[in-house]
Copies of this chain bind each other. A is one copy, B any other.
Amino acid sequence: MRILIFGGGGFLGKRLALELLKRESLSRAGEAAQDIRNVTVFDKILPSDFSGDHRLVRFEGDICDKSLIRSLLSEPVDIIFHLAAIVSGEAEKNFDLGMRVNLHASLQMLELCRELKVNPIFVFASSCAVFGGDVSTTIYDNTAAVPQSSYGSQKAIVELLINDYSRRGFIDGRVLRLPTIAIRPGKPNAATSSFVSSIIREPLQGKRANCPVSPDTKIWILSPSKVIEDFIFAASLSAETLGGNRIINLPGITTTVAEMVRSLEQVAGKKAVELIDWQPDAFIQSIVLTWPPTFAPERGEVLGFKKDASVRHIIDSFIEEELGQTK
């Protein structure tokens, strides 16, 4: 089995590759497990220390480059994970760049898949940012996507393409709408949701962090380890199980910034909490505060996608996995 990860240099892409490389074999689309012979990670830039397994193939390049992507697909590919994106804040500030990468490169990738003799499983990282507007309503599985950001719009468009390309048999698609992923390691990035991780991650390491929204802001979150499990699980489901609609709202937890901060205090004390600044940011609020925080992801739960036990559990896992401490 050959697996291709677009966005393989990002935090989630790299973690997904490493998780796959821990395994000898994998079941895809309800079939018998096959040996994992090749995990190809593609990104603009890959971390230089990302190597060490003979099955890992590194590929750096521009995702918009048609001949490059075609050459990547010239060897048979069994599963594609497409996690590459211009993040929400950047796509809002640079409309053309977001359209080029989030929409046009994704569409081009689907068209190239259509040329293949054997159509691959195609797992796409979409986002709960496809929802926007009235944040007081609960999002059900059949609630319309009315994005209030260009990032969310571009993701929602690719969702529709994946559903139609799957219906026509060009690919065998699976779309996961990710909650805000927290807690991310590393540095703050241009995602407008970046602060959700920063306000925990930075104080835990003695650094200051800014929270651009008020403590009562509700958010819908999922941990990195659960979302990686969910990606692999999505590839394992049979096409029949998924039927005519390949879009799944992943189960997450509804929490508030205040609850996250309270959990931080339980774990790391008052001093950690005092490292948080509370400077409102109008741009971030204009996007993040349109994301509904309350979901009823019935289908995802019935299908068997995983969620976290609690915010406290998420923080403990972060400390253990990323800071190398055991509580």
- Residues 152-165 of A, flagged 1 when their CB comes within 8 A of B and 0 if not, give 01001100110110
Contact of A144 among B143, B150, B153 (CB under 8 A): B143
State whether B167 touches A163 (Cβ < 8 A).
Answer: no
State whether A156 touches B160 (Cβ < 8 A).
Answer: yes
Asked if A146 is at the interface of the complex by the 8 Å CB criterion, the answer is yes
Please measure, in the bound complex, the distance between the C-alpha atom of A34 and the C-alpha atom of B267, giving whole angstroms. 66
How distant is A223 from chain B, measured CB to nearest CB, in Å? 26
Asked if A245 is at the interface of the complex by the 8 Å CB criterion, the answer is yes
Please measure, in the bound complex, the distance between the C-alpha atom of A244 and the C-alpha atom of B143, giving whole angstroms. 16
Contact of A146 among B132, B133, B161, B244 (CB under 8 A): B244
State whether B142 touches A163 (Cβ < 8 A).
Answer: no
* Residues 135-178 of A contacting B (Cβ, < 8 Å): 137, 141-148, 150, 153, 156-157, 160-161, 163-164, 167-168
With contacts A143-B142, A144-B145, A168-B150 known, is A160 near B157, CB below 8 A?
yes
State whether A153 touches B148 (Cβ < 8 A).
Answer: no
State whether B150 touches A157 (Cβ < 8 A).
Answer: no
Interface centre among A146, A161, A167, A168 (most CB of B within 10 A): A146
Please measure, in the bound complex, the distance between the C-alpha atom of A244 and the C-alpha atom of B145, giving whole angstroms. 12
Besides A142-B143, A143-B143, A148-B244, 20 new A-B residue pairs in contact (Cβ under 8 A), listed by A number: A132-B244, A133-B244, A137-B142, A142-B146, A143-B144, A144-B144, A144-B145, A146-B163, A146-B245, A146-B247, A147-B160, A147-B163, A147-B164, A148-B167, A153-B161, A153-B164, A157-B157, A157-B160, A157-B161, A160-B160
What are 13 A-B pairs with beta-carbon distances under 8 A? Answer: A95-B168, A133-B245, A142-B146, A143-B143, A145-B145, A146-B163, A146-B244, A146-B247, A153-B160, A153-B161, A157-B157, A157-B160, A160-B160
Nearest 9 pairs of A and B residues by beta carbon: A153-B164, A144-B144, A142-B144, A157-B157, A146-B245, A153-B160, A156-B160, A157-B160, A150-B164
A residues near B (Cβ < 8 Å) are 95, 132-133, 137, 141-148, 150, 153, 156-157, 160-161, 163-164, 167-168, 244-245, 247
